[in-house]
């Protein structure tokens, strides 16, 4: 297990990475209340996933007996996966005390990518102040109820009895507190967005609250856009400055375009902040950027389209890193269909990086 600290915006954060086959199962325990069985409770493909928690915050209101939770992470296929398996799902299950026993509720699952990674974020308020959380990749039907198929479980330790904030502590997937039947399971075929506010389960019988969208929705319909690059200059520290212009195919509608940069690495694309375009027709720009150490290309995009296996960008122009004979960093223009940039794009704001600055690419 690898632990690393991350700087965040919301409070105490910690991150971890683990790869666990989706077949990991919790041990049975005396049920608090059996959940209703289902003939086919998990009608989705199954595959091994690695799950990374990028940011985590939990705080509580002792007067209201509620907790506010903000979880951001990413999942990706295990390195030893031989074949792609589109449509694999992950769900977040909550386990809380009801009297002296724990009960469990599973939220609606979200879809992952078979190529690259998929970011996820769950934000919301839930009852109680002693909760366990598990990432689940399936459901297990037993005579006494339906159980979550855990790949990762954790809980929060509060600094003291009156503390407002807590810190993350790993929990065994076989712990008796998370090895109880679920009182709430998703309806077969349910599918949740990868990122949402107000998306935690608050009742075993009521519906999941209507979620509020997270910034950078999965799909932005591309507009008719013409991009011209007039100049490209690289400085000594590896930043590239682009000079050019953008014009809408419909005069007077430049402000309706969705222009953004996408940075590509082995795990897929990272979406930068959308450009703020105010000119009614021709938009001229001089902007600079640099890729991160784990990235080797970037593109300018006018939108994204959704497939069964991820969100892909519509590229206007793409650039890749290169090093000359003297070891100096630089960039070259590449095809918009180059394999380095034909990967799914993670459009979610994970609460840490926040995209690139508005005056930059």
Question: Cα–chain-centroid distance for residue 246?
Answer: 30
H-run or E-run covering 96? strand 89-98
Give the 3-state secondary structure of residue 347. Answer: coil
Cα maximum dimension of the chain: 70
Edge-to-edge strand list for the sheet holding 310-323? 329-334, 310-323, 297-307, 260-265, 268-271, 345-346
Residue 213: pLDDT band by 50, 70, 90 thresholds? low
pLDDT, position 219: 65
Cβ contacts of 42 within 8 Å, gap of 6 or more: 89, 138, 139, 149, 188
Tens digit of each residue's pLDDT (9 = 90 or more) over 28-68: 333 333 344 445 689 898 888 888 888 777 788 878 778 88
Question: Which residues are bridge partners to 317 per DSSP?
Answer: 300
Q: Has residue 118 got a pLDDT over 90?
A: no
Predicted model pTM: 0.72
105 and 182 Cβ atoms separated by less than 8 Å: yes
22 and 49 Cβ atoms separated by less than 8 Å: yes
Q: Has residue 212 got a pLDDT over 80?
A: no
77 and 268 Cβ atoms separated by less than 8 Å: no
Q: Which fold has domain 225-346?
A: Immunoglobulin-like (2.60.40)
Residue 99: pLDDT band by 50, 70, 90 thresholds? confident
pLDDT, position 18: 35
Tens digit of each residue's pLDDT (9 = 90 or more) over 267-278: 889 888 778 788
Rg (CA), the chain: 23
Q: Which two tokens stand for residue 184?
A: 């709430």
| Distance between start and end Cα atoms, the chain | 35
Alpha carbons 204 and 220: distance in angstroms, whole number: 34
Domain boundaries, the chain: 2-213, 225-346
Nearest to 330 by CA among 338, 340, 320: 320
pLDDT, position 87: 86
What number is the average pLDDT over the span 135-159? 90
Edge-to-edge strand list for the sheet holding 2-4? 2-4, 15-20, 49-61, 66-77, 118-127, 195-197, 212-213
Tokens 């990272």, residue located? 270
Tens digit of each residue's pLDDT (9 = 90 or more) over 296-333: 999 999 988 888 888 899 999 999 998 888 878 889 99
pLDDT, position 274: 79
What number is the average pLDDT over the span 169-177? 92
Tens digit of each residue's pLDDT (9 = 90 or more) over 282-295: 999 999 888 888 99
Rounded to 5°, the CA angle 283-285-286 comes to: 175
Measured in degrees and rounded to the nearest 5, phi and psi for residue 256 equal -90, 0
């Amino acid at each position: 297990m690898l632990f690393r600290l991350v700087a965040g915006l919301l409070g105490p954060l910690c991150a971890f990475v683990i790869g666990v086959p989706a077949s990991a199962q919790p041990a049975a325990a005396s049920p608090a209340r059996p959940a209703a069985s289902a003939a086919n409770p998990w009608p989705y493909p199954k595959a091994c996933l690695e799950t990374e928690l990028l940011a985590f915050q939990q705080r509580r209101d002792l007067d209201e007996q509620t907790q506010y939770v903000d979880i951001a992470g990413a999942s990706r296929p295990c390195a030893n996966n031989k074949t792609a398996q589109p449509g694999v799902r992950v769900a977040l299950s909550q386990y809380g005390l009801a009297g002296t026993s724990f009960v469990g509720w599973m939220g609606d699952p979200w879809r992952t990518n078979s190529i690259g990674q998929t970011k996820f974020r769950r934000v919301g308020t839930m009852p109680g102040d002693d909760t366990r959380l598990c990432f689940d990749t399936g459901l297990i039907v037993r005579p006494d109820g339906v159980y979550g198929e855990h790949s990762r479980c954790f809980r929060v330790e509060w600094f003291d009895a009156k503390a407002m904030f807590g810190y993350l502590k790993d929990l065994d997937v076989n712990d008796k507190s998370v090895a109880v039947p679920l009182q709430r399971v998703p309806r077969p075929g349910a599918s949740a967005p990868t990122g949402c506010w107000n998306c935690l389960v608050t009742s075993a019988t009521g519906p999941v609250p209507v979620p509020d969208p997270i910034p950078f929705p999965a799909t932005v319909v591309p507009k008719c856009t013409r991009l011209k690059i007039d100049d490209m200059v690289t400085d000594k520290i590896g930043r590239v400055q682009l000079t050019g212009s953008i014009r809408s195919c419909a005069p007077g509608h430049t402000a309706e375009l969705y222009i953004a940069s996408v940075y590509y690495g082995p795990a897929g694309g990272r979406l930068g902040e959308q450009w703020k375009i105010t000119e009614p027709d021709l938009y001229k720009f001089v902007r600079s950027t640099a890729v991160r150490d784990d990235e080797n290309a970037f593109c300018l995009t006018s939108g994204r389209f959704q497939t069964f296996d991820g969100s892909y960008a519509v590229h206007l122009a793409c650039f890749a890193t290169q090093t000359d004979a003297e070891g100096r960093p630089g960039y070259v223009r590449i095809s918009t269909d180059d394999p380095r940039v034909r990967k799914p794009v993670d459009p979610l704001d994970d609460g840490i990086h926040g995209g690139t600055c508005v005056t930059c690419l």
